Amino acid sequence: MIIADEEALDENYIPLTIPCREFQKKELAYWVSRLEKGVTFDCLCYGKPGTGKTLLVKYVLDRLLEEIGVSKFYVNCWEKRTLAEILDDLLVQAEIPVVSSSCAIKYSRLKKLIKPPIIIALDEVDKLKFRELNDTLYLLKTLNKVGLILISNSRRCILNLDPRVESRLNLHLIHFPPYSQEELMFILKHRVVDCKALYPGTWSIKVLELISKLANGDARAAIQTLRNAAQIAEDLGRSKITTEDVVRARKKVEEVKRRYRLKALGEHYELIYKIIEENDEITSRELFLKYKEKCLENGLNPKSYRSLNNYIQELIRMGYIRVERVNRRGNIRRFVVK
């Protein structure tokens, strides 16, 4: 056996301490403590995926607010993408029955029944469409003594907000830079040793160093790679993780990240990538015809050829597919998954 505690390698696991994010923790804790004194605040925690944003926010909500009389909520805007869905989620978390489909009634019940002060964390807030984002931020800021913690991959989501929203928000920016290789080593050793994720003698510094190097600043990818490598070694009946296990595990993590990012881009991107994946060296004309066919099968409205080409260019830019010229007369291209 290699894995001693599977939970300690889960991406939703919140350890007793958060390594390598002391500055961000102090910043966030400071503004949270101000809310207890009646001073409202709003924060934007931003940075690339795997930089500890969600983990730290959940840590602050779960650990640092235990003795503070604050109503706290966490909403994943990847899953709840409309104002109505967000209000429903808040009602459910507050254990208030959802009795109407009207946003006005839902909001009224929240304002009446949730005891202030309130902290609401909106994760993946950049996934909300422009109108939904403005409506959501505006309405939530009209609750009594509410502080918003927005979590996003970048600051772009707060650019060009409606003036009515900007006037209500007082955002404090907290940046989460990518982890260094040394920091990732520290985080992995913390999970293995302090959190007791793996049995002693089942891992090596060499393995952790390789994982830290391959993760490229992404702690989530590093921990997922460690978990997958441990599982691969266990499945093969070994008592220790090897570098070969790490390489295989990393490929699996990259594929998961690719699917995750495609889902974030939307259904049309997912559909185009799947068509190219299933039809090796498909030409541009064949792709457009197959795309329209699959859209109708999946209940989607096909985009124009120009829009399709924009989607393709974005997939090429992200390194998910490559384009090749066909050795025939005319400007004929074919696409291959990389």
The rounded distance, in Å, linking the Cα atoms of 220 and 251 is: 14
* 213 and 243 Cβ atoms separated by less than 8 Å: no
* 47 and 27 Cβ atoms separated by less than 8 Å: no
Look at residue 124 and give its three-state secondary structure. Answer: coil
Q: How confident is the model at residue 115 (pLDDT cuts 50, 70, 90)?
A: confident
Query: Which residue segment(s) compose the domain that 50 sits in?
Result: 22-175
Residue 77: inside a domain: yes
Q: What is the pTM of this model?
A: 0.82
- Does one domain contain both 151 and 57? yes
Contacts of 304 (CB under 8 A, 6+ apart): none
Tokens of 167: 């006037």
Contacts of 193 (CB under 8 A, 6+ apart): none
Beta bridge partners of 172: 43
Q: Which contacts of 301-305 are long-range, i.e. CB under 8 A and separated by 24 or more positions?
A: 303/268
* 130 and 22 Cβ atoms separated by less than 8 Å: no
Give the pLDDT confidence score for residue 329 in this predicted structure.
54
Tokens of 12: 């939703």
Query: What integer best gives the mean pLDDT of the chain?
Result: 91
Q: How confident is the model at residue 185 (pLDDT cuts 50, 70, 90)?
A: very high
- Does one domain contain both 209 and 79? no
> Tell me: the pLDDT tens digits for 315-333?
998 888 988 876 655 567 8
- Does one domain contain both 270 and 197? no
> Tell me: the pLDDT tens digits for 257-298?
788 788 878 889 999 999 999 998 898 889 999 999 999 998
- Does one domain contain both 80 and 169? yes
Domain limit, last residue, from 260, 280, 297: 260
Q: Write the single-letter amino acid at 74.
A: Y
Give the pLDDT confidence score for residue 260 in this predicted structure.
77
Domain limit, last residue, from 207, 227, 260: 260
Q: How confident is the model at residue 233 (pLDDT cuts 50, 70, 90)?
A: very high
Q: How confident is the model at residue 21 (pLDDT cuts 50, 70, 90)?
A: very high
Residue 61, number of CB atoms within 10 A of its CB:
20
Residues, the chain: 338
Q: How many structural domains does the chain have? A: 3
Domain limit, last residue, from 175, 193, 210: 175
pLDDT over 70 at 67, yes or no? no
